[in-house]
Every structure is written in C-alpha cells, then in structure tokens.
C-alpha cells in the first residue's frame, strides 16, 4: 500500500508547536512579528501572501503586510526593507518572489537583515547552511525534512534524486540531504534541464524530490518500486473548476501512486509545510533577537 504523506496534518502539528513557542515569547513580553512584502500583480503570489498572513493570525504572530506597485522604482522596495530592518516589532521579513524584472533579486535579498531573513535566502544564511551551521533553513526544504521525519523515511544511505537546482528549493534541499545527521546522509544527485538520462537516475532513486515546475511530468513507470516521492511542484493548469484552474504537481499522482512507497499530494503536501516553517523561522528569529530560549532547531 502506498502511504500518503499528509502535509496538511504535519503542518498543523508544526503550527501547534509554534503557537506554544509564541506563548513562551509572550510571557517574556515579546510578540513575534512577520512582515510580508509583495511587489507583483501575479494572482498566485497574492494568494500565497494572504495565506501567510492568515497563518500568522492563527498562531499569534503579528502579521504586517506591505504592497508595492509592480511598476514602482526598485528604490521603493529597498526603502521598505530598510524600514522593516529597523523596526523592533518586525522579527521576520519575507519579500515574495519573483520580484519584477526591473528589480535585481540578489540586491533585494542582500538588503534584508540576515537576522530577519526567515526565508534563509541572504548569502550569509546560505553560507551558514552550506557550512552545516544553519540559522534559518529555507522553508520548503526544511518542510520536506520535517515530512520525512514525521513519516520515518530513512534517508541515511538512501539514493536521493532532487529535480531542480533553484536557490529556493533544489539547491538547499540537496544541501540538507547530504549533511551529516538526522534526515541527511543521503547520496544525492541534483538534476536540472541539462541533465542527461533523468530516467536512468530516477530508476535507481529511493527518494525523489521533484521541483522542476513542469505539470505531471513524472509518472509511475519512471520510479523505483517503493520509492518515496516528494512533489514540490505547484502548477496551475486550465480546468473546468470554479476558479478556472486546478493545481497539479510535477508528478502524475495517480500513476506514481501505483509504484511509490509513499507520496505527497498536491495540494496538501509540501505547500502547507512551507508556510508552517515560515512561522517556525519567525518565532526562532524573535527568540534570537530577544534572547528568549524557544527551543527550536
């Protein structure tokens, strides 16, 4: 029987843990605050940011939201980040990606105070992660690790294939999987658009993390029987639904379920975990800033 890895359920557990830590902070006189910054008209980005704000409310984190016109000069975004860096009530800052083409993403990520960089995208935090001394693990790969832990998936010695090498998913995912320690010690292959023979690599993989952004391009016939499949992809495809679209992963769920040992659905898999780990990192940031022991790894 294929096990369904229920990201919504594990994310609810993480939020409950975060809510407890928020109480610890409150009793020390600290209300954690998360600022989300949106400079985009993309409807998907708007949806994600409003979900993040709702999550904050649920666990007792103060949500602060800033919207900037997508055609405003880049300086407006830099100034917003400077203000948020200075504010004592803001412990975490997330600039929703992608930013418009006229804004340099690298400069934006460098502008965020690394101690408030709850995405973990600032080069200082990337460096710490790679060095095995992470402060904020990027939310999606961290969420994947929590899922693997919750379902007792053995990564030690496993052959893992990560599909995608982006800075926000693929690279940090691979970095975490190769690290010594729990939910690590995997032998990890990172695949991308120039990879030759992806099929051959998948056929040997005990663990597949798919993050290419291509709707349902992996099917059951490509997988090793019993493999654990983590589908990070979230793709909007035209469908005759109320919203006019449906969400599908990078994996053809029905077909992959025939072969996989365990699999995450889309929606309800990695997505909710990404949001939960953002709350987690925000509470961690507030603990560091105010020297309150919140006991989060």
Ligand X SMILES: NC(=O)C1=CN([C@@H]2O[C@H](COP(=O)(O)OP(=O)(O)OC[C@H]3O[C@@H](n4cnc5c(N)ncnc54)[C@H](OP(=O)(O)O)[C@@H]3O)[C@@H](O)[C@H]2O)C=CC1
Ligand Y SMILES: Nc1nc(=O)c2c([nH]1)NC[C@@H]1CN(c3ccc(C(=O)N[C@@H](CCC(=O)O)C(=O)O)cc3)C=[N+]21
Residue closer to ligand X, measured from CB, 31 or 47 = 47
Q: From residue 246, give the alpha-carbon distance in Å to each of 136, 209, 253, 274.
A: 32, 21, 14, 20
53 is an active site residue: no
The secondary structure of the chain in percent helix, strand, coil, rounded to multiples of 5, reads 40, 15, 40
For residue 234, say whether it is annotated as part of any ligand binding site.
Answer: yes
Q: Which among ligand Y, ligand X, none contacts residue 94 (Cβ within 5 to 8 A by kind)?
A: ligand Y
Q: Which among ligand X, ligand Y, none contacts residue 180 (Cβ within 5 to 8 A by kind)?
A: none
248 is a contact residue toward ligand X (CB under 6 A): no
3-state SS, residue 171: helix
Cβ–Cβ < 8 Å for 218, 256? yes
Using CB under 6 A as the criterion, which residues of the chain lie in contact with ligand Y when the complex forms?
A: 47-48, 51, 94-97, 119, 139, 234, 247, 266-268, 271-272, 274-275
Binders of ligand X among residues 252 to 271 (CB under 6 A) are 270-271
**Residue of the chain from 109, 162, 232, 263 that contacts ligand X (CB under 6 A):** 232
Closest to 19 in 3D by CA, of 71, 55, 50, 52: 55
Strands 235-238 and 245-248: antiparallel
For residue 165, say whether it is annotated as part of any ligand binding site.
Answer: yes
Cβ neighbourhood burial of 290 (10 Å; 0-12, 13-18, 19+): middle
Residue 162 β-bridge partners: 190, 209
Kindly report the backbone phi and psi dihedral angles of residue 115, in degrees, each rounded to the nearest multiple of 5, phi listed first: -80, -10
**x/- binding map, residues 166-205, to ligand X, per CB under 6 A?**
x-xxx--------------------xxxxx--x-------
109 is a contact residue toward ligand X (CB under 6 A): no
96 is an active site residue: yes
52 is an active site residue: yes
Contact residues for ligand X, defined by CB under 6 A: 140, 163-166, 168-170, 191-195, 198, 211-214, 232-235, 270-271, 274
Annotated binding residues for NADP(+): 164-166, 234
| Residues involved in catalysis | 52, 96, 119
């Amino acid at each position: 029987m294929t096990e369904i890895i229920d990201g919504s359920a594990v994310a609810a557990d993480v939020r409950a843990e975060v809510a407890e830590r928020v109480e610890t902070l409150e009793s020390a006189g600290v209300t954690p605050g998360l600022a989300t910054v949106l400079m985009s008209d993309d409807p998907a980005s708007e949806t994600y940011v409003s979900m993040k704000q709702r999550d904050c409310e649920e666990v007792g984190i103060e949500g602060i939201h800033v919207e900037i016109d997508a055609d405003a000069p880049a300086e407006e975004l830099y100034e917003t980040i400077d203000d948020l860096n200075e504010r004592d009530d803001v412990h975490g800052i997330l600039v929703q990606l992608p930013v418009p083409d006229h804004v340099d993403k690298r400069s934006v990520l460098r502008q965020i105070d690394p101690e408030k960089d709850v995405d973990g995208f600032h080069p200082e935090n990337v460096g710490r992660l790679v060095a095995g001394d992470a402060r904020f693990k990027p939310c999606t790969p961290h969420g994947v690790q929590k899922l693997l832990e919750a379902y007792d998936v053995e990564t030690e010695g496993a052959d893992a294939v990560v599909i995608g090498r982006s800075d926000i998913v693929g690279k940090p995912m691979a970095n975490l999987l190769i690290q010594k320690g729990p939910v690590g010690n995997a032998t990890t292959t990172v695949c991308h658009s120039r990879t030759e023979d992806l099929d051959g690599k998948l056929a040997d993989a005990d663990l597949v993390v798919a993050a290419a952004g291509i709707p349902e391009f992996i099917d059951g016939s490509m997988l090793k029987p019993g493999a654990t499949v983590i589908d990070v992809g979230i793709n909007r495809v035209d469908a005759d639904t109320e919203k006019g679209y449906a969400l599908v992963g990078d994996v053809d769920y029905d077909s992959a379920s025939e072969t996989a040992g365990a699999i995450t659905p889309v929606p309800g898999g990695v997505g909710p975990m990404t949001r939960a780990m953002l709350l987690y990192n925000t509470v961690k940031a507030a603990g560091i800033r105010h020297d309150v022991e919140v006991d989060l790894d």
